[in-house]
């Protein structure tokens, strides 16, 4: 491993520049044109067969190196409609156009710029170490993760036609833990998510004559309050779910009762039965409140995004955890908590019918994080993913994330016969 990783020291300056460039120039889901072009350029220079435009703006590189397994490494590349407030000298000032056609600020608030940097670096290191392994590398830069549809888009566009079905799929995510720490977990590691758009139909009119109307604002308020009882009164204390009303839009003026109210609801769960129970409860409550209000027509309930549970193959996760502990030391490789955030990473392993493992890598200043934990102020003092203040430190985060991908890939790629000791 020492010889394989030897080139990394010389690559780090270029990788740090790549990270800063991506952070300064974020792009929204399925608009990652500049990002994709730069990552494709680097893959080409490293000797990969490169295909672009997969699933819209996805990029994949294939490196054949003799007979052996096909190992897929994946990173996501899209940013979020968030205005950055980190104060960094390379902070994003970019704007983009969101799904509704609105101009919005854009920031890599989830760390996908770091993910792309890690994978670019690992692809380069592994290409330089071809004498140490045999098989095929499939390096995938995925668009549209934040919408939950990027993985499926790449699969529909023939991703697995490039190198055949992978033998294993590996991925990772930067989190607000101490930089350089690695967190793994067997089985379920991240939640499923279902996002719903709900339209409640009322009958509008003048604010001075509510008796002539059916007020969708009151109907929406009742729905919001009643939805909070799903987790507290319908889900067992030994199970887990989250129901959030993230958006509520109704009316255009203080003296007008609107015709409709629009809500967007986000549901998180770790178990398929719990998921189905919560979704059924949401529909039941919404329809019942509409009936109770005398709504002129039934509400519209439309799914707008869905992420599956991210579950790690237990045997494969055990193998990777052992490799990471050997490389980083047991004190830096810990068991990850259940994460209520969601990912579409597991779509790849499901589609291929092969094991997949997703792990977490800390990216914030260790002293800041450990001090906050000791003081019981972690949630207050440490910015999380999707925060306008989230910004991984460059080192040792860049180095650690490249090393995890390299060591993880080598755990599954074949060893050349002349390196096997009898």
Rounded CA Rg of the chain = 24
Backbone angles phi and psi of 120, in degrees to 5: -60, -45
Contacts (Cβ under 8 Å, ≥6 apart) of 212: 203, 205, 206
Angle between helices 33-45 and 8-24 (to 10 degrees): 170
Catalytic residue among 32, 38, 76, 78: 78
Residue 49 labeled ligand binder:
no
Of all residues in the chain, the percent with pLDDT exceeding 90 is 97
Residues 141-152, mean pLDDT to the nearest whole number? 96
pLDDT at 391: 96
Q: What are the pLDDT digits (tens) for 277-310? A: 999 999 999 999 999 999 999 999 999 999 999 9
Distances (CA, A) of 270 to 179, 192, 278: 27, 6, 11
Pick among 3.30.70.360, 3.40.640.10, 3.30.60.50, 1.40.20.10: CATH of 192-307: 3.30.70.360
Task: Indicate the burial class of 21 (C-beta count within 10 angstroms; 0-12, 13-18, 19 or more).
Answer: middle
Active site residue 145: yes
pLDDT at 419: 64
Q: What are the pLDDT digits (tens) for 16-31? A: 999 999 999 999 999 9
Report domain extents, the chain: 2-190+309-419, 192-307
Whether the predicted pLDDT of 420 surpasses 80:
no
CATH 3.40.630.10 for domain 2-190+309-419, yes or no, is yes
Reference 77, options 123, 147, 27, 121; nearest CA is 27
Tokens of 99: 């799904």
Tokens of 413: 């790629």
Spell out the alpha helix ranges (H) of 167-300. 216-227, 229-234, 272-293
Catalytic residue among 145, 194, 289, 403: 145
Q: What are the pLDDT digits (tens) for 47-61? A: 999 999 999 999 999
Q: Which residue has the tokens 């044109």?
A: 33
Residues 155-182, mean pLDDT to the nearest whole number? 98
Distance separating alpha carbons of residues 91 and 346, to the nearest angstrom: 31
Active site residue 161: no
Task: Indicate the burial class of 16 (C-beta count within 10 angstroms; 0-12, 13-18, 19 or more).
Answer: middle
Residue 386 labeled ligand binder:
no
pLDDT at 22: 98
Average pLDDT, the chain: 97
Contacts (Cβ under 8 Å, ≥6 apart) of 377: none
């Amino acid at each position: 491993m020492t010889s394989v990783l030897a080139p990394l020291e010389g690559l780090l300056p270029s990788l740090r520049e790549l990270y800063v460039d991506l952070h300064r120039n974020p792009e929204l889901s399925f608009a990652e044109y500049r990002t994709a072009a730069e990552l494709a350029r680097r893959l080409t220079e490293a000797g990969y067969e490169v295909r672009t435009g997969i699933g819209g703006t996805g990029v994949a590189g294939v490196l054949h190196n003799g007979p052996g397994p096909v190992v897929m490494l994946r990173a996501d590349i899209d940013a979020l409609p968030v205005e950055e407030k980190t104060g960094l000298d390379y902070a994003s000032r970019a704007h983009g156009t969101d799904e509704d056609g609105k101009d919005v600020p854009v920031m890599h608030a989830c760390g996908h710029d770091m993910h792309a940097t890690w994978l670019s670096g690992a692809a380069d290191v592994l290409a330089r170490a071809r004498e140490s392994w045999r098989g095929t590398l499939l390096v995938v830069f995925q668009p549209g993760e934040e919408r939950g549809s990027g993985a499926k888009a790449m699969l529909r566009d023939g991703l697995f036609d490039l190198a055949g079905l992978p033998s294993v799929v590996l991925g990772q995510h930067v989190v607000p833990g101490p930089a350089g720490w690695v967190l793994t977990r067997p089985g379920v590691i991240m939640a499923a998510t279902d996002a719903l758009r709900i339209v409640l139909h009322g009958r509008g009119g003048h604010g001075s004559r509510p008796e002539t109307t059916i007020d969708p604002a009151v109907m929406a308020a009742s729905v919001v309050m009643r939805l909070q009882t799903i987790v507290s009164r319908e889900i067992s204390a030994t199970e887990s779910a989250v129901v959030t009303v993230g958006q509520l839009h109704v009316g255009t003026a203080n003296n007008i009762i609107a015709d409709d109210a629009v809500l967007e609801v986000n549901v998180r769960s770790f178990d398929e039965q719990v998921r189905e129970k919560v979704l059924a409860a949401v529909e039941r409550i919404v329809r019942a409140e509409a009936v109770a209000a005398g709504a002129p027509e039934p509400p519209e309930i439309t799914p707008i995004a869905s992420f599956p549970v991210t579950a790690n193959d237990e045997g494969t996760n055990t193998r990777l955890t052992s490799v990471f502990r050997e490389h980083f030391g047991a004190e830096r490789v810990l068991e990850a908590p259940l994460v209520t955030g969601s990912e579409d990473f597991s779509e790849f392993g499901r589609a291929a019918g092969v094991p997949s493992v997703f792990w977490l890598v800390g990216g914030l200043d260790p002293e800041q994080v450990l001090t906050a934990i000791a003081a019981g102020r972690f949630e207050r003092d440490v910015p999380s993913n999707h925060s306008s203040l989230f910004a991984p430190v460059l080192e040792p985060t860049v180095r650690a994330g490249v090393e995890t991908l390299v060591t993880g890939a080598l755990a599954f790629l074949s060893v050349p016969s002349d390196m096997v000791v009898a």
